[in-house]
Amino acid sequence: MSSEFLFKSAGELASLLAERKISSVELTGAFIARTKAVDGRVKAFNSFDEADALAQARAADARRAAGQARGTLDGLPVGIKDVIAVAGQPLTCSSRMLANFISPYDATVTRRLRDAGAVLWGRLNMDEFAMGSSTENSAFHPTSNPWDLTRVPGGSSGGAAAAVAAGEAPLALGSDTGGSIRQPASFCGLVGLKPTYGLVSRYGLVAFASSLDQIGPFARTVEDAAILLGVIAGHDPLDSTSYPAPVPDYRAELRRRPGPWKLGVPKEYFSKGLDAEVGEAIRAAIEFYRKSGCEIREVSLPLAADYAIAVYYIIATAECSSNLARYDGIRYGHRSAAATDAIDIYFKSRAEGFGPEVKRRIILGTHVLSSGYYDAYYLRAQKVRTLIRNDFMRAFQEVDALLAPVAPTAAFKQGEKVFDPLAMYLSDIYTISINLAGLPGISVPCGFTQGGLPIGLQIIGQPFQEAGLLAIAHAYEQGHDWHTKHPEL
């Protein structure tokens, strides 16, 4: 009975729940069964708690029976990246450092999901501490791309993307510091949204680079992303960088904003390095908007194109070296059994607990913050960061949003880049400047390569204009059927 529900949109599933055509226990049971059937191959999950999920589902069914259903998400499973705190569940960040850590509290987004009645479903694999673009940096196991199991699902939120793409969850939450929602969404044929910095609370999100990190939704459709964003967005006094922006009904706004729009195409994003098939799909999407009456303008983002990677890998590593100092084997995390004295505990616990990419970044970040180098690297990177933001704000004086690729290629092979950090970093070229500028960005499926791999279109919006951004993405989705396809497993 169950498999027919696995690839329906969350909006459709919510209607079936509301019409009592299906119960949350049946639905949650279907996703549990699917996960048991396919996750041995996909490996999207670090862990899941079947009994807990079914208990949440029973509570949702009881509320509905009593006429007390809480809204669209009530009774719907939502997968959660293993970097977001869920009280009483593991919170590993896919690191040996936190392999045995159980979260004592809920992140704000988790609490909001609970308040909305969602069934919190599983802990999803990722690159260790969200550092990476392929989910191969997980200390536990790599995740496979459901469209081709020999390829990466993207990263760092690869488990979240793969779980939704494989029909193991209808929705998921990830985090995006430099592309970690948008790039896996594009590799797995999903919608993925990185909100404006400050729109979604970071309370209970394990920090990687605090001035860049944002939590956001993975979904099958733009409407589903709008539904999930509406639940998690909004001011939170527990996060000092949370901004008191109004939270409209994003789902309803999709229909209130028919366009046409003025859309910018950054000319630097179509130069060398962009795969031909990906470029073709993005250009076809631009043509679609033009034919639907939008005005398309070429814009220029010279600093974003030339300096984003260098600036990001200075600022992100600097922040991570500071944020990860707390894992010392004393207050948190793995403690080496071989240590003989206090200093030895620090050395050995960190040496054993962190993987190679995390160590590389801590070393890089400590270096750029050290005296004598601080001004030359960190301070200068902060200044260029402002100039990159200025590039975008200048473009937004002319246009409503920007159209761009998400990544230079479709999903690459497992093992292809993991031993070449620079090649891996370069693949972030189109996503990281959006985090540096604090802007919202969405990935929407816009085609497939000849080899059958999904391609994503990135739409970049103005700060706190998620409603408009979602509407632009929705207009594209309405004219295409890419989002209705799913992989055969």
Is 43 noted as a catalytic residue in this protein?
Answer: no
Q: Which entry of 103, 156, 186, 433 is annotated as an active-site residue?
A: 156
Sequence-separated (6 or more) residues with CB below 8 Å from residue 466? 193, 195, 196, 199, 229, 233, 250, 440
Give dist(CA 408, CA 396) in Å, integer.
24
Residue of 334, 260, 319 whose CA lies nearest to 92? 334
Binding track over 126-155 against ligand GLN, x by CB under 6 A: ----xxxx----------------------
Q: Which two tokens stand for residue 462?
A: 């103005």
Residue of 334, 323, 331 whose CA lies nearest to 97? 334
By beta-carbon proximity to ligand GLN, the closer residue of 94 and 462 is 94
By beta-carbon proximity to ligand GLN, the closer residue of 206 and 459 is 206
Kindly identify the residues of this chain, within the stretch 208-227, that bind ligand GLN according to CB under 6 A: 208
Provide the residue type at 426 as one letter: L
Is 2 noted as a catalytic residue in this protein?
Answer: no
For tokens 């970097």, name the residue.
83
Q: Which two tokens stand for residue 15?
A: 């209607």
186 scored as a contact of ligand GLN (CB under 6 A): no
355 scored as a contact of ligand GLN (CB under 6 A): no
The backbone torsions φ and ψ at residue 296, rounded to the nearest 5 degrees and listed phi first, read -105, 125
Q: Which two tokens stand for residue 325?
A: 């100092």
Determine whether 77 is exposed, middle or buried from the number of CB atoms within 10 Å of its CB (0-12, 13-18, 19+): buried
Q: How many CB atoms lie within 10 A of CB 339?
A: 16
Is 157 noted as a catalytic residue in this protein?
Answer: no
- Omega before 156 cis (within 30°)? yes
Sequence-separated (6 or more) residues with CB below 8 Å from residue 70? 63, 115, 116, 117
Shortest distance, position 388 Cβ to ligand GLN, whole Å: 16
Residue range at the interface with ligand GLN (CB under 6 A); choices 44-52, 170-178, 238-246, 268-276: 170-178
Q: Which entry of 8, 9, 43, 81 is annotated as an active-site residue?
A: 81
By beta-carbon proximity to ligand GLN, the closer residue of 208 and 392 is 208
Name which position in 32, 173, 316, 403 contacts ligand GLN (CB under 6 A): 316
By beta-carbon proximity to ligand GLN, the closer residue of 82 and 428 is 428
Name which position in 79, 146, 153, 179 contacts ligand GLN (CB under 6 A): 179
By beta-carbon proximity to ligand GLN, the closer residue of 56 and 156 is 156
The DSSP string of 121-137 is EEEE--SGGG--SSSTT
178 scored as a contact of ligand GLN (CB under 6 A): yes
Shortest distance, position 152 Cβ to ligand GLN, whole Å: 12
Shortest distance, position 316 Cβ to ligand GLN, whole Å: 6
Determine whether 50 is exposed, middle or buried from the number of CB atoms within 10 Å of its CB (0-12, 13-18, 19+): middle
Name which position in 135, 180, 214, 433 contacts ligand GLN (CB under 6 A): 180
Binding track over 384-423 against ligand GLN, x by CB under 6 A: ----------------------------------------
156 scored as a contact of ligand GLN (CB under 6 A): yes
Residue range at the interface with ligand GLN (CB under 6 A); choices 84-92, 124-132, 198-206, 455-463: 124-132
By beta-carbon proximity to ligand GLN, the closer residue of 126 and 225 is 126
Give me the sheet containing 454-460, strands edge to edge: 45-47, 119-124, 77-81, 171-176, 214-219, 191-194, 441-448, 454-460, 401-405, 262-266, 295-299
Residue range at the interface with ligand GLN (CB under 6 A); choices 38-46, 171-179, 255-263, 408-416: 171-179
Shortest distance, position 288 Cβ to ligand GLN, whole Å: 28
By beta-carbon proximity to ligand GLN, the closer residue of 182 and 486 is 182
177 scored as a contact of ligand GLN (CB under 6 A): yes
Give dist(CA 166, CA 162) in Å, integer.
6
Q: Which two tokens stand for residue 307?
A: 């300096």
Catalytic residues: 81, 156, 180
Residues within the interface to ligand GLN (CB under 6 A): 130-133, 156, 176-180, 208, 316, 428
